[in-house]
Amino acid sequence: MANASVTEIAPDIFRICTYFSQKDLEFNEFLVRDEQPLLFHTGPRKTFGEVLAAVRTLIDPSRLRWIGFSHYEADECGSINEWLTVAPDAQAVCSQVAINVSINDVAEKPGRGLKHNEVLTTGRRRFRFLRTPHVPHAWESGLMFEETERILFCSDLFFQSGRHPALTESEVATGAAATLRKYQASPMANSVPYTPYTDRIMEGLAALEAASLALMHGPTYRGDCASQLRALAASTRELFANYTQWP
């Protein structure tokens, strides 16, 4: 694993990327430099040192105020306690389900649970929280939409293996569908559920008319985000709506 690389994807919004060659997978965290700095995803606990060094080039890490993430998994929030130690005023911010089920037990400090459509203001930036159960996966899942730059922080949506440019205008839905197919044929199958409300959630995300999709495992895409979300919804439906193979 190389040192993390940092790219400014919008004014004062930075993508911090580490690449795991054994997994052929990128892990991206996003640091928002604002009055109340926010880190979206901590990255896996074992990358804490690399991510901390990257954040230190952007802000004084002790100033971090918010640690946001979609769902309770190591790459989303595995180093939450390390961050809470480095940043005494920091607090987890995620769905109320994640708070109730995991964070208020596992984290050293109580977190803040957001309701659907509740807005977190960090200063100049406004983050609308969207409750998205089982999208990308896990019942506590939620996503954040930054309203001024219209960036949807996608977590594992559009998950795709390989190394990518930090920013792209080339479509991302085809690569995501290819990775889903590859994973279904591997021991990592069943990572994406398809539920009675998957399509409605995906359509709700498309209706945001985002300008950028900030992928955790892949590039940050700029372009027709609604079309990309609808294409991903279609391939998810095609792959999983009638999926019966188990285990």
Residues of this chain, 123-162, that bind Fe ion according to CB under 5 A: 156
Least distance in angstroms from the C-beta of 214 to Fe ion: 12
Site for Fe ion in 48-77 (CB under 5 A): 73, 75
Nearer to Fe ion, 23 or 124 (CB): 23
Supply the minimum distance, in Å, between the C-beta of residue 76 and Fe ion: 6
| CB of 28 vs Fe ion, minimal distance in Å | 9
Residue 232 phi/psi, 5-degree rounding, is -65, -40
CB of 89 to Fe ion, least distance (A): 26
Residue 47 CA to residue 215 CA, distance in Å, equals 18
Q: Does 216 interact with Fe ion (rule: CB under 5 A)? A: yes
Q: Which residue number, 120 or 216, has a Cβ lying nearer to Fe ion?
A: 216
CA gap 43, 25 in Å, rounded: 12
| CB nearer to Fe ion: pick between 59 and 95 | 95
Q: Which of 137, 136, 153 is nearest to 208 (CA)?
A: 153
Q: Which residues contact 191 (CB under 8 A, 6 or more apart)?
A: 137, 156, 159, 183
CB 55 within 8 A of CB 87: no
Site string for Fe ion, 174-203 (x = CB under 5 A): ------------------------------
Q: Between residues 69 and 145, which has the closer beta carbon with respect to Fe ion?
A: 69
Beta carbons within 8 Å of 93's beta carbon, 6+ residues apart: 38, 66, 67, 68, 111, 112, 114, 120
Query: Which DSSP letter does residue 2 get?
Result: P
Number of H helices, E strands in the chain: 8, 14
- CB nearer to Fe ion: pick between 58 and 74: 74
Number of residues near Fe ion (by CB under 5 A): 4
Output the smallest distance, CB 176 to Fe ion, in A.
13
Instruction: Provide the 8-state DSSP code for 137.
Output: S
Six token digits for residue 171: 């479509």
Task: Work out how close the CB of 191 gets to Fe ion at its nearest, in angstroms, rounded to a whole number.
Answer: 7
Q: Which stretch binds Fe ion (CB under 5 A): 1-9, 115-123, 197-205, 210-218?
A: 210-218
List contacts with Fe ion (CB under 5 A).
73, 75, 156, 216
